[in-house]
Structures are given as C-alpha cells and as structure tokens.
Amino acid sequence: MKFFLDTANVDEIKRIVKLGLVDGVTTNPSLIVKEGRDFKQVVQEICSFVNGPVSAEVIGTKAEDMLKEAEELASWAPNVVIKLPMTEDGLYATHALTQKGIKTNVTLVFSVAQGLMAAKAGATYISPFVGRLDDIAVDGMKLIRDLRTVIENYQLPTEIIVASIRNVGHVEQAAIAGGHIATIPGSLLPSLWKHPLTDIGIERFLSDWSKMGK
C-alpha cells in the first residue's frame, strides 16, 4: 500500500519524507487555507522535495473553468495531479485532461456508482471519503472493498486513494480492504508507528540495563 500525506504543511511532510514513508501528497482548498500561504508557492515547494504525485484541487465548478485552472496547476510542476470534484463537469474535465495525458484525482466520491463513473472517465485516482461516510453512520470501509472489487472485475487502470482518514484503524482497514493508497493527515501518521507496549518495553530494558555492574 502506498502512503500519501493529506496535508499542505511543509514541515510535517519533510519529517515523514526523511523516514521514506511518503509516496505522494494530497491537498484540498481547506488544507491550503489552513497554511495561510500562497497556493502556488506551497504546491511548488512540496513538489520540489516529494518524489511522487501531489494533488492540487480546482476551485471552479464549471468544466470550462476547471480546465483553465488545470492547465495552470499542471504547469507548476511535473508531479502535480489535478484534483476535480465528482460532478458532471468534473467528469467532463477528467475525460478531457486524461486525453491530454494530464493525471487526475476525482475527489468527494461517496458511492460505487460515482467511483465507477470517474474510473470510466479516465481518472488516474479516485478519492472515496471513509471518515465523512462514517460520520453519517454509513460504513466507509465497505465502499473501499466494493470499489476494489469493481476495479478488479473490469481491470480498470484507476487507483483508489482512501481519503478522509481519521484514525489508525482506518489505515489498517484500508490496507486489508485493498485500497491502493491511504492519504493520511500528517498529524495522524506518527500514531501508526507508536504503541504503549513498545514504550513500556524500552523503559523496562533500559531500567534493567542500568542495574548492570552495580
């Protein structure tokens, strides 16, 4: 399973890149606004040290505007992936960009039908949001299992980015369900390598070791 970081915070990304755990980055308008920095500057900085796809999202809701924005975003760095909403206009833009060889990530996917539509339109990635489904008492992970089945059934070249991840369990279940990629908030990622028994174990070993030679 590939790990993307779901953040626009450069320091968070740099910390995890040093561990060899970052296969790509996803951003969205909310994450960009949180940083309080210029959109282009942030995306170009991330692209300069991340060896993998970096999703940057369009703001327009009409296909024509999405395509204009996409051309601009794609010119910022070779590893920019255009993130588009799961709407009719988003599908139109996805198809048009795919024909031009520009990579796309269709976001805000909440059903198998939406995922299938985006994949058929040529999306490089689809982003089903598990956390937001769980929030409304719908099993988000079932959507990941079902989308994986559909992609396998028809050998579609689209990869599933499991998005809206809220906890370690989501990452573990996404891997078991066959999500190709998990996009994980930078603040959550350290919880993946931590365990209280590991900390207790280290303390005990060090305490026993300190008794040596007494």
Asked if residues 76 and 43 have their Cβ atoms less than 8 Å apart, the reply is yes
Residue number with CB closer to ligand E4P (122 or 185) = 185
Check if 120 is active-site: no
To the nearest whole angstrom, how small is the minimum distance from the Cβ of residue 12 to ligand E4P? 14
Q: What residues contact 202, with CB distance under 8 A and at least 6 apart?
A: none
**94 neighbors 116 (Cβ within 8 angstroms):** no
Tell me the window of 41-49, 74-82, 125-133, 150-158 that interacts with ligand E4P (CB under 6 A): 125-133
- Out of 42, 79, 129, 158, point to the residue binding ligand E4P (CB under 6 A): 129
Nearer CB in complex with ligand E4P: 63/174:
174
Kindly name the residue from 2, 68, 83, 194 that is annotated as catalytic: 83
Closest residue to ligand E4P: CB criterion: 164
Pick between residue 9 and residue 209 the one whose CB is nearest to ligand E4P.
Answer: 9
Amino acid at position 134, single letter: D
What are the residues binding ligand E4P (CB under 6 A)? 6, 26, 28, 107, 127, 129, 131-132, 163-164, 183
Active site residues: 83
